[in-house]
Every structure is written in C-alpha cells, then in structure tokens.
Structure 1
C-alpha cells in the first residue's frame, strides 16, 4: 500500500484534534477505559484500514483489526475494534471514521467498475486519473488500489503523455510526428503516450508499423521511433470499437487507452471495445459510506 510518513499521519490527526478532546476533559471522563467498535451500515469494499490503524496507535490506542482493506463487508458488519482511555477513543473516533467513510466509498465505486470491466474484458484495467482533490492523492490511491484499480498517472513526472496543449507549443501534430525520431531516444526509460482523436491515432499506428518494418530490415542500426500507446478521448462506444479494430490491424503492439466520460454505467461497454485500459475520474465522486461506532466501558 501507499507509504505515509509519520508527519502525514500527524497532520491528518491535527485537522480534527489540534490540542485535546475538550469535551472529555470538561466531563472528567478522559481516564476511563473502554473500547470502540467500527461497523458499516452499508455493503461496501473496505479501505483505509492501515491509515486508521496508524492514527489510532499514534493516539495511544490498542487496535484489533477484524478486516483488511479490499475486503467486502456486509451491512452491519464490524471491522475494527479500538481500546484505550475515553480521551484516546474520542480523539481517534471521527478521524478514523472519516478515513473509512470516504476511502471505502472510493474503493466500493472502483470495485464496481473493475468487476464490470473484467466481466467482459479481463485484459482491460481501470486506471484512475490525476484529477483528484488536491492534498489527498495519497489517501485516494490507497482507496483505488483497495478497489482493484491502478493509478493512471501519479503526476507529471511519470509517463510522457502528450496532449494537444503540448502540441500547441510544439508546432502541431505533424511537427510532432516529424520529430518523433529525435524525441523517442529521450524516453529511454519511460513510456511515450499521446492523447489523440481517431485520425491521429491511426496516423501514429502507421508510424509505428513503418518503424517496426525499418527495424526488422536493419541489423540494429535503426532505432525504434514510434509511440508506446495512444489515449483516445471522448469517442462513443461504437466509434471506439471500430477504431480499436483498425489500430490492432495496423499495429497489434500499440497500447490503447479509452478516456473521457468513463463511469460505472458505461465502463463495461467501453471495455468490450478491446482497449487495454480505461482512464476515469468517476471513483473520486463516490458518496461516503454510512459507517459508525459503538463505544462501551471496559468490564
């Protein structure tokens, strides 16, 4: 899972507990010992367990885990019990609950999309984009992975992905294709992808095929000058299906990603087109799962 620093855990706690649990202090119950049981009111895919464990432990609680991130839970099922003083339990209560509510929602929506996609195309993966709420990417990645998907791009420092905006400054698509032989060597350790429309995708597939033929005819003197994949944005299912067939006939090695408007309602249809992956932002809009806690005094 995602590695979170102690400082990150401290900042998550500080959002809700900047100093102390004032209510427990005023009531004079802070030192009473008890336990707190987390449970879900909805069927869901659990996420955030590792984060919540560290939060509770940081606050001095003892954690007994009953389920793991990625587990499917039924309504009413308990999944974690925390023991400690009343002050410690109340400090951990909402911080951990918020982690569970929100991350489990993302994981649940993600798993629904993954199951739908794999049901029609096991070779197609759900890929979540970097269009997430700033400041919580690490937590969202935890949820996405728990749901069975993969991050599409973790940031601009990863895969080389060329958009129209880049081409605006580069001199256009034709100039890009013309200079591919000089661009390609700079991606010696990285994948080179381009977001394109149908016609440009076909053009790049043909460039790949020409490059492959040239490499095959040479004795190693001619380098590979094609692209690794294309990301096709906002085509209808029918249009994408026809395009995938054409691209596969030109260059079967080309990785094809479908993007733009992919959601739980249409993910299976887009996966059935034969693409290798679907880039989506949909899981990030999941409604929080209804979860709660039961607290009791220690016997």
Structure 2
C-alpha cells in the first residue's frame, strides 16, 4: 500500500480531532487480531502497512490465501495503546472485507475444480471505487483471476460498442490500438460468437447465456474449426448458487462480479491482551 493511500485512509477514519483514542493513556500494549470464523485470509499486506505507518510492531506467519480456522491468530501487535486503537478499525475493515472476497472466491474455485482443472474463475470491474486493486488482489488470493484491472489493459467490445459501430468495425478498430492488447468481444448469440471468432477476436464472452446454450455454442465453434483459436468466457448472472451448471459447460473462463459485490465480510476482532510490555 502506498504511503499516500495509508495516510488517506487514516485521515478519513481519525478525522480532525480524535476524541476517542486520545482519552486512553498512551502506554505500551500488546494485542492480537484473530478470526471468529473459518476463512481464506486476505489483506495481510494492507493491514501491515497501516501498522507500520503507526509505529506498531506486527508479527505474523501468514500470507494472503492461507486458510484459517475459527479462533486462529492473524497478527500479534506491540506498540502504543493509542496507535493500536487508531489502527484497529481500519485494519479490521481491510482484513474482514478482503478475506470475505478471498473466502467466496476460494469456495467458487473449489466448486469449478470438481468439473474442470483448467477453467479459470475471474472477477470483473464491478468493484468499490478507490479500492479496486485491493479487491482484485483478494480474488487472486482466493485462487481466482483478476481479469483486466482497467480499460487500458485490453480491448473489450461490449453490446453498446456494437450498437454504436457494429461488430466488424469495432473489431477492426480494436486491432489498430496495439499488437500487445488482446481483443475480447461480448456476444449474446451463437451467430455472433462465430462472427467474432472469424474476425479475429482473442476472447469471446458469452453474455447472459444459459449453460445449455453455451454448450451448443461451443459445439458450433468446434464444428467450424474455431474453438481452439479463441478463449471462451461465460459471464452474466453467475453466482455461487448456479455456478455448478456453468462449471460443467466447458468454457475457459467463468467471470463473476458476485465474487466482490456479493461477498460477505469475515468476522475478525482485535483484543488487548497485555499492558506495560
């Protein structure tokens, strides 16, 4: 985490006159952070950056992606009591939120692995403004794929692009951007999937297609000798509840905005365990 980011987060949480933490005598203290439920942990580095900035010695043997059981200690902290209290909520917010994303992602990856060893589970750009990189890295910690971080990473031609300029013109324009960028085309029919593949798309996103329609589209692409030339991604309305059906469909990537926007925070806590160290 960049220093300017840490300072921004701390400024937001402390405000202009911290009347909550400063009433406490600033004496040496020891604390622990632990999880109150099973999870895949994420946010270790982010929390560590906060502790470091506030002069707190933080010890941990864990790394993002480790699976924890209820009650396991994540950090042991030594520092001034005021600093520990100031770091508490901010660190727990990052750990709880990012671990929730990593935990849901891990569960989804485990579901897909029952049917495919190669299909990637990816997130989308449906993220919280300002903390996208942290949320996407939490997906990676859970074994998922971060997809593109922003609009500059690759060219994605979506339905509105096609409405504005047509699929042929859109792909032709995309090819002129840079030879290093892959071109992904969102389609809603088997016909457009075939057309996009013929026009040279690198990735075809089958948007809001049911699993049986996806399987039919894959068969059509294979029958025309186009299946091996493209990466096929399924997206739209996919959640943990219906993921199994998509995992059986045979696509290369399953992208799920729900990895982030439907994740549940993991319950974690910080407790003072000793004073006057």
Q: Same fold (TM over 0.5)?
A: yes
Q: 1:260 to 1:45 in 2, by over 3 A?
A: same
Deviations 1:178-224 (A, max 9, x none): x856753544111111101222102233x25xxxxxxxxxxxxxxxx
Deviations 1:131-154 (A, max 9, x none): 112111022022111111122221
1:279 aligns with 2:255: yes
Q: Structure 1 segments of 4 or more deviating over 4 A?
A: 179-183
**How far apart, CA to CA, are the structure 1 residues paired with 2:177 and 2:21?**
60
Q: The residue matched to 1:151 in structure 2 has which SS?
A: coil
Matched-pair contact (CA < 8 Å) for 1:248–1:254? no
Q: 1:20 to 1:76 in 2, by over 3 A?
A: farther
Within 5 A, what are the aligned runs for 1:91-130?
Answer: 91-130=86-125
Matched-pair contact (CA < 8 Å) for 2:101–2:142? yes
Of 16-25 and 53-62, deviating more is: 16-25
TM-score of the superposition, structure 1-length normalised?
0.85
| Matching residue of 2:203 | 229
Within 5 A, what are the aligned runs for 1:31-70?
Answer: 32-70=27-65
Within 5 A, what are the aligned runs for 1:1-40?
Answer: 4-19=1-16, 21-27=18-24, 29-30=25-26, 32-40=27-35
**How far apart, CA to CA, are the structure 2 residues paired with 1:49 and 1:240?**
38
**How far apart, CA to CA, are the structure 1 residues paired with 2:56 and 2:173?**
58
Structure 1 regions of 5+ residues with no counterpart? 209-225
**How far apart, CA to CA, are the structure 2 residues paired with 1:85 and 1:181?**
60
Asked which structure has the greater CA Rg, the reply is 1
TM-score of the superposition, structure 2-length normalised?
0.92
| Matching residue of 1:184 | 175
Structure 2 regions of 5+ residues with no counterpart? none
The Cα RMSD (Å) is: 1.8
The alpha carbon displacement at 1:118 in A equals 2.1
| Matching residue of 2:216 | 242
1:292 aligns with 2:266: no
Q: 1:158 to 1:183 in 2, by over 3 A?
A: closer
Of 241-250 and 104-113, deviating more is: 241-250
Q: 1:24 to 1:255 in 2, by over 3 A?
A: closer
Q: The residue matched to 2:23 in structure 1 has which SS?
A: helix
**How far apart, CA to CA, are the structure 2 residues paired with 1:186 and 1:68?**
38
Q: 1:188 to 1:74 in 2, by over 3 A?
A: same
Q: The residue matched to 2:264 in structure 1 has which SS?
A: coil
The alpha carbon displacement at 1:272 in A equals 1.8
The alpha carbon displacement at 1:238 in A equals 1.0
**Number of matched residues?**
272
Within 5 A, what are the aligned runs for 1:253-272?
Answer: 253-272=229-248
Deviations 1:259-279 (A, max 9, x none): 001111222321221111011
Of 230-239 and 134-143, deviating more is: 134-143
| Matching residue of 1:82 | 77
